[in-house]
Structures are given as structure tokens and as C-alpha cells.
Amino acid sequence: MSIRDATHIYLTDARTLRACLYLAAALALALLVVWPRGPLEAALRSGQAPDTFTVVAICFLVSALYLGARFGAEDYSTDPSVQLRELAALTPVSILSLVAGRFAFGVLHTILLMLLGAPFLVAAMAVGGAGVPELLQALGLVGLASLAARMAGFLALAVVGTRRPLRDIVLTSGVTAAAAAAFFLSPAQSSFHALAALVRGHPHVAALPAAANAAAAALLAAAAGGVLAVVRVRARARARGQGGGERG
């Protein structure tokens, strides 16, 4: 997939734009549900509704994880006939360039998704007792978690290909298991725990889970590159074997 194709898919395709609309709708609904009751002026003056910011941030995290995984697995691709494994096996493009391009565009597109969700976090910040540092930490944490989910989708696409039911099972179970393991077994690395603690006197709690998400994204991208390299080696070995058989 070229940069031009990726730009068309993620910025102009109706299905992709619809997914972004669903994200905005989910955040707007979360903000509406937890918005403080009573006069707006009193809520803005007191800033004593921390659940508002926390709930909207966690809703943003869940939505971003889902969309990141789907975007990484190319569920919104307009040309599913061009499979990732075929691209790796049949074209001279280097595996490093292929993975680096997907990763770089994933970063850029994730930033756009964060810009889409930022106004809802700003509105929640106004009544939730959060400040600009908490806002920036929440956006960074959600963005890195979404990027890690995106690379998980990319790895699932490299391993399973376009076999949709199997890929969905592998991807959904993998992302869910990773989030649950962090939540229950290593709370310090859990994005959910960090978002809940941001406005409760733990200003730097997001640093460790953010670093863990960044490392996970890099490792998943590297794993996808390894899988695609194996696919290419096997394809070339088969081609040499077929060529030898024809000459024999």
C-alpha cells in the first residue's frame, strides 16, 4: 500500500470516516452521561467532578484500542485483494521499508484520531478537575495504546492474512488478554489504571504504561516484519523449486 493509497483509505473512504464518526459519537455520549448536573457555571467554577474526565478518557481508550486494531488489520481497506503476505512475497520492496512505512503512517493516523478526541477531553477537563498536563498525558497514553493495538492488528494480518473469522478471533483475544493481564497482574503498566489515577493526585502515573505501550508497538511491528520475512523466504524457495523442476 503506497502513501497515496493509505491517505485515500484513511482520510477519504466512507467506511473510515464513518468509523471516526462513531468514535466522536461514543465520546459525546460518554460526556453527556457523566456531565455534572446543575448550573454549568457552578460546575466550571468548582471543577469537582473527576469522574467526568476519567470516564471520557477510558471511553476514548476503549474506542481507540478497537479502531487501532481494525485499522492495523486493514479492515477498512478498499482493495482487500491485495494481501499483505502477497505483497511481501511477490514484490521487491524490502521488508524493512514495508514495516517502517506501515508504522510511520500508523503514527500519523493515530495523531489524527487523538486530535479528533481531544475536544471531548478538553470539555471533560473543564469540569473534571484536570489540567493541561493531565490532558496531554491522557492523549499520549491513549495514542500509544491505540498504536500498539494497531501493530497487533498488523501482526495478525501478517500471520493469518485475510481469513476474517480466524483473524478476528486471534486479534480480539490477543488485545483483550494483554489489556486484562496488565489490569489484573501489573496495574502499574495498565493504561486503564493510569487514566483513572491521573486526576486523583498521581500526576506521573502515565509514564510507565505509556512506555510499555510504545515498546509493545515496536515489538509487534518487529514481529510482523519477521513473519513477512519468513513468508518471502518460503515464497522464493518455492519459486526456485518450481524452476528447478521445470528445467529437470
Residue given cell 498536563 in the structure block: 133
The Cα–Cα gap between 92 and 44 comes to 58
* Domain chopping of the chain, boundaries: 3-247
What are the residue ranges of helices labelled H in the chain? Answer: 3-11, 14-34, 40-46, 50-72, 84-90, 95-128, 132-160, 164-185, 191-197, 207-247
Q: Average model confidence (pLDDT) for the chain?
A: 85
Cell of 29: 455520549
pLDDT band at 14 (very low <50, low <70, confident <90, very high): confident
Per residue in 29-74, pLDDT (tens digit) is 999 998 877 665 655 565 555 588 999 999 999 999 999 999 998 8
Whether 181 has a pLDDT exceeding 80, the answer reads: yes
> How far apart are the two ends of the chain, measured CA to CA in Å?
37
Q: What is the pLDDT of residue 6?
A: 59
Average pLDDT over residues 183-191: 94
The Cα–Cα gap between 65 and 150 comes to 8
Residue 45 to residues 37, 91, 129: CA-CA distances in angstroms?
14, 60, 10
Nearest Cα to 194, choosing from 216, 176, 211?
Answer: 211
pTM over 0.85: yes
The Cα–Cα gap between 196 and 54 comes to 5
Q: Give the number of other Cβ atoms within 10 Å of residue 138's Cβ.
A: 30
Amino acid (one-letter) located at 173: S
The Cα–Cα gap between 79 and 5 comes to 10
Whether 13 has a pLDDT exceeding 80, the answer reads: no
Average pLDDT over residues 64-87: 79
Whether 183 has a pLDDT exceeding 80, the answer reads: yes
Least confident of 13-27, 41-55, 202-216: 41-55
Q: Which residues contact 74 (CB under 8 A, 6 or more apart)?
A: 1, 80, 84, 153, 157
Whether 197 has a pLDDT exceeding 70, the answer reads: yes
Q: What is the pLDDT of residue 43?
A: 57
